[in-house]
A and B are shown apart, each in its own frame.
Chain A
Amino acid sequence: MPRPEITDLYLIDELLTDEERAIKNTVAQFIDREYLPIIGRHFEQGTFPMEVIPRLAEMGVFGANLQGYGCAGLNNMSYGLILQELERGDSGLRSFASVQSSLSMFPIWAYGSEEQKERFLPGMAKGKLIGCFGLTEPDFGSNPGGMRTRAKKEGDHWVLNGTKTWITNGSIADVAVVWAKVEDGGPESIRGFLVEKGMPGFSAREIKGKFSLRASFTSELSLQDVRVPDRNVLPNVRGLKGPLSCLNNARAGIAFAATGAAIACFEAALEYASSRVQFDRPIAGYQLTQEKLADMLQEIVKAQLLGHRLMRLKDEGKATPAMVSMAKRNNVRVALEIARTARSIFGANGITVEYPAVRHMLNLESVYTYEGTHEVHTLVLGKAITGLDAFS
């Protein structure tokens, strides 16, 4: 399908370097040819197309913005562009990449020992080792500082107990970055543990009955007296700062990427509206449809500009959590609204997986809530504006 140029109304492409544009186009071509033809069926059946992992790895997608250890060493803008194209495919694929790169590889890269980096990162970049990130618990979502998972020191091992939930890639992960409080300490005692598949007492259970992110693994991790050796503890970070820095990284990518789902919905809805005839002319010719399309495009362009500036600031080392919160909050919300509007343009056809809108719409309900709920990002922004903390 020809991609209408109208989605780049503000010529944002021209703000990219030749290499950034080539990276975007290469991933876009992969998604168009290899992923879009199969995603509808996988979403319907609730399966993840594992065969795309080695192919994305070969291109250098995983840990793309990390330096060394077999990673591509690209800038954050390029990383964002990659994720946006994956998201244009499906949030499930982008979630896989976000978790692998920002939430699993990044903490090892940033806080791991040299031995841990050498042991895990090259395999993870190649997609041979899959990672997941264990922070959220059944009773602690927006309030991770209250987590119940504990690590107790026993000789040269740590004994972990607890439950983590809503863990993307959990049941296929070779290594889980699990955050736990040490002994009976408070949030300041939190440390990161590299829990490996097969360690006795560690298990992952797939969460069933999802109507969102169906083409993605979502799991619950159970840790019962899991003995983790000293060499699997991330040595260089303590406290909530560890997991939050990973999330901040991932959230910037998600904020940038969400526009991909919005573009997919807009383009498909535009094509449909141009060819769907009612009362003897295409519905695109009616004012109500044009208003929908105008609103969708306007929000896409604004979200692109916000995302673009965010990644440039991140590359300059100037991005703050408030900036990330504003972009995540805005871009995911508008993507969700655009998906809903697109669904309405498709009429009854819009409720099937034959068209992308309902799939993206359902996925974006998760994206709205994960990686810092929409509401929490509102409070982060509120605190940055007023200096007053409304969390507690």
Chain B
Amino acid sequence: MKILVTAKRVEDPESKIKVKPDGTGIVQEGLKYKINPFDEIAVEEGLRLVAKHGGEVVVVSIGGKEVHEQLRHALAMGAHKAVWVNHTGPLDQMGVAGLLQKVVEKEKPDLVILGKQSIDDDQNQVGQYLAEWLGWGQATFASKAESFDSENEKNKVPALVVGADNKTVRVVREVDGGLATVECQLPAVVTTDLRLNQPRYASLPGIMKAKSKPIEELIPAGLGVDVTPKLTVTKMSAPPARKAGIKVPDVATLVEKLKTEAKVI
């Protein structure tokens, strides 16, 4: 089977993010970038399914030349080829979904797996738009209920299982207060939650091999997609800094303050 996965370039979640003084965005100097962690989980899941069912994993990213770093990362993990949608400038979730739709129509995968959201602007919409516009079924927030703490846990049934006839996919989803298991006709769109799997480390020979794997370049105009954003960010601001705590002399004062100031008891 053919699986399309995404690899968005995002700020390293371990970087310290600073908002520009004029509120138009974040300070980008000195920031490190990496693949969106939810997308990395999607790449891993695609590789596991292909290891089991055969086929290939195609990874797609949208952005300037710098997204090659994220595409190469996915290729080093084991993806077979990459599609680079060469676009610089603002893009909203509909623009992204529109471009992905065209890539899907071109690549014709059996399954699209993408992160449920990207950790930069946390929209959580692209997978849903994409499934709707393709007219495909969708299973969002694919998750594995178990922790990964023991071998036994790791070996439990995966959250994404493709039917024996390669026509359906069964997905365990994380929902409020529990799990829901859904079944979709293929082709379908699946978005990944945090606990679906633990992505592998790329092997060092894999990193070298990634160099010679193909990256196909596409441009939005060539795909016939108008990516003019319908959504504009008007202002960004950092969360207010937390005030320093105070020390109270005794328990009685603490209880008093909890009652009268914090109003929690």
Residues of chain A at the chain B interface (Cβ within 8 Å):
1-3, 5, 18-19, 22-23, 26-27, 29-30, 55, 58-61, 64, 72-74, 78, 82
6 shortest A-B CB distances, which residue pairs?
A: A60-B204, A72-B205, A22-B207, A72-B204, A2-B14, A60-B203
Given A1-B14, A18-B69, A29-B201, also A23-B30 (CB < 8 A): no
Q: Which residues of B contact A22 (CB under 8 A)?
A: 69, 72-73, 76, 202, 207, 210
B155 within 8 A of A: no
User: Whole-angstrom distance between the alpha carbons of A72 and B30 in the complex?
Assistant: 32
Chain A residues with Cβ below 8 Å from B211 are: 18-19
CB B54 to nearest CB in A, in angstroms, measures 22
- Interface CB pairs A-B, < 8 A, 28: A1-B14, A2-B14, A2-B16, A5-B30, A5-B32, A18-B69, A18-B211, A19-B207, A19-B210, A22-B73, A22-B76, A22-B202, A23-B204, A23-B207, A26-B202, A26-B204, A26-B207, A27-B204, A30-B201, A58-B201, A59-B201, A59-B204, A60-B205, A60-B206, A72-B208, A73-B208, A74-B205, A82-B204
Residues from chain B with Cβ under 8 Å of A27 in the complex: 204
CB-based nearest A residue for B69: A18
Considering residues B12, B205, B206, which has the most beta carbons from chain A within 10 angstroms of its beta carbon? B205
Residues of B close to A1: CB separation below 8 A: 14
Chain A residues, CB < 8 A from B15:
2
Q: How far, in angstroms, from A3 to B32 measured CA to CA in the complex?
A: 10
Q: What does DSSP make chain A's interface, helix, strand, loop or mixed?
A: helix
CB distance from A21 to the nearest CB of B (A): 9
Could you tell me if B201 and A26 are in contact, using CB atoms closer than 8 angstroms?
A: yes
**How far is B202's CA from A61's CA once the two chains are assembled, in angstroms?**
12
Distance A30 CA – B211 CA, assembled complex (angstroms): 21
Residues of chain B lying within 8 A (CB to CB) of residue A3: 14, 32
User: What residues on A are CB-neighbors of B202 within 8 Å?
Assistant: 22, 26, 59
Measured CA separation A265–B68 after assembly (Å) = 33
Interchain CA distance A61-B16 in the complex, whole Å: 31
Distance of A73 Cα from B72 Cα, bound (Å):
19
- Contact check: which of B16, B204, B210 meets A64 at CB < 8 Å? B204
The reply to whether B208 and A74 contact each other, CB–CB distance below 8 Å, is yes
Q: How far is the CB of A31 from chain B (nearest CB, A)?
A: 11
Q: Which residue of A lies closest to B208 (CB)?
A: A19
Listed in ascending order, the chain B residues whose CB lies under 8 Å from chain A are: 12, 14-16, 30, 32, 68-69, 72-73, 76, 201-208, 210-211
Q: Report B-chain residues with C-beta under 8 Å of the C-beta of A55.
A: 201
Closest A residue to B73 by beta carbon equals A22
Contacts of B16 in A (CB 8 A): 2
Shortest CB distance B86–A (Å): 18
Whose C-beta in chain A lies nearest to the C-beta of B31?
A5
Cβ contacts under 8 Å, A23 to chain B: 204, 207
Task: A59 to B205: give the CA distance in the assembly, Å.
Answer: 8
In Å, the complex CA distance between A54 and B205 comes to 16
Contacts of A2 in B (CB 8 A): 12, 14-16
C-alpha spacing A5/B16, complex, angstroms = 11
Residues of A close to B203: CB separation below 8 A: 58-60, 72
What chain B residues lie within 8 Å of A73 (beta carbons)?
205, 208
For A29, the chain B residues whose CB sits under 8 A away are: 201
Interface centre among B73, B203, B204 (most CB of A within 10 A): B204
Minimum CB distance partner of B207 in chain A: A22
Report A377 CB to chain B, min CB distance, Å.
30
Chain B residues with CB below 8 A from A30, complex form = 201
Complex Cα gap A78–B203 (Å) = 13
Bound complex: CA A19 to CA B213 (Å) = 13
Given contacts A18-B69, A19-B210, 9 further A-B contacts (CB under 8 A): A2-B14, A18-B68, A19-B208, A26-B76, A59-B201, A59-B202, A60-B204, A60-B205, A72-B208
Name the residue on B nearest A57 (C-beta). B203
Give bound CA distance, A19 to B75, whole Å: 12
Residues in A whose Cβ lies below 8 Å from that of B210? 19, 22
Asked if B204 and A18 sit within 8 Å, CB to CB, the answer is no
In the bound assembly, the distance between CA atoms of A26 and B201 in angstroms comes to 7
Provide the residues of chain B in CB contact with A82, threshold 8 Å: 204
* CB-defined contacts of A78 to chain B, threshold 8 Å: 204
Bound: A59/B202 CA distance, A: 7
With a cutoff of 8 Å between Cβ atoms, the chain A residues found around residue B32 in the complex are 3, 5
- Determine the chain A residues whose CB is within 8 A of the CB of B205 once the complex forms: 60, 72-74
Cβ of A26: which chain B residues have Cβ within 8 Å of it? Answer: 76, 201-202, 204, 207
Docked Cα-Cα span, A61 to B203, in Å, equals 9
Q: Which of B16, B208, B211 has the most CB of A within 10 A?
A: B208
Task: Look across to chain B and name the residue whose beta carbon is closest to the beta carbon of A64.
Answer: B204
The distance from the CB of A52 to the nearest CB of chain B, in whole angstroms, is 12
**Min distance, Cβ A3 to any Cβ of chain B, angstroms:** 8
